């Protein structure tokens, strides 16, 4: 599925709709350059699932993971941009998270051997300062 030339409000609307359909447990891998909108997409999913559009959802750039409890389970928001070594994911309980919760993973190419076979891949591309394109693909193993 491809959505082109989305403004930020449209990207958020798409993330809200996506949040209403995603099942637990599940893994969502978000690809895109810096500033593409990965964190915005994740933030909106988390706020939607928490039922609180004003909930503060900081980027886990430095902590690598943030956890949130919602009615359907635990949401794990990973940002692996600063990850030095894929083995460090063991300390972040990545194996448990991948099996039990909703994992939103920015920079999933850094997962190494932890890359799951079944996942939803979201590719966000910055078309201009104000427009984004997003494609979604589900892989089941």
pLDDT, tens digit, for every residue of 58-97?
Answer: 888 888 999 999 999 999 999 999 998 888 899 889 999 9
Number of separate domains in the chain: 1
- What CATH number does residue 28 fall under? 3.40.50.300
pLDDT tens digits for 13-44? 999 999 999 999 999 999 999 999 999 999 99
User: What's the domain range around 134?
Assistant: 2-139
Burial class (CB in 10 A: 0-12, 13-18, 19+), 136: middle
Give the whole-angstrom CA distance, residue 45 versus residue 27.
13
| Spatial CB neighbours of 77, under 8 Å, sequence gap ≥ 6 | 42, 46, 57, 60, 65, 66, 67, 68, 104, 106
- Spatial CA neighbour of 33 closest among 71, 1, 81, 78: 81
């Amino acid at each position: 599925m491809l959505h082109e030339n989305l403004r930020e409000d449209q990207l958020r609307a798409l993330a809200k709709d996506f949040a209403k359909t995603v099942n637990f447990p599940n893994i969502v891998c978000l690809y895109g350059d810096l500033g593409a909108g990965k964190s915005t997409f994740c933030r909106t999913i988390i706020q939607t699932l928490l039922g609180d559009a004003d909930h503060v959802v900081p980027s886990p750039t430095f902590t690598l993971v943030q956890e949130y409890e919602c009615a359907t389970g635990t949401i794990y928001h990973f940002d692996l941009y600063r990850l030095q070594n894929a083995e460090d994911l063991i300390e972040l309980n990545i194996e448990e998270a991948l099996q039990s919760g909703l994992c939103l993973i920015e920079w999933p190419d850094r997962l190494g051997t932890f890359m799951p076979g079944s996942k939803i891949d979201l590719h966000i591309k910055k078309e201009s300062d104000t427009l984004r394109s997003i494609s979604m693909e589900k892989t089941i193993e």
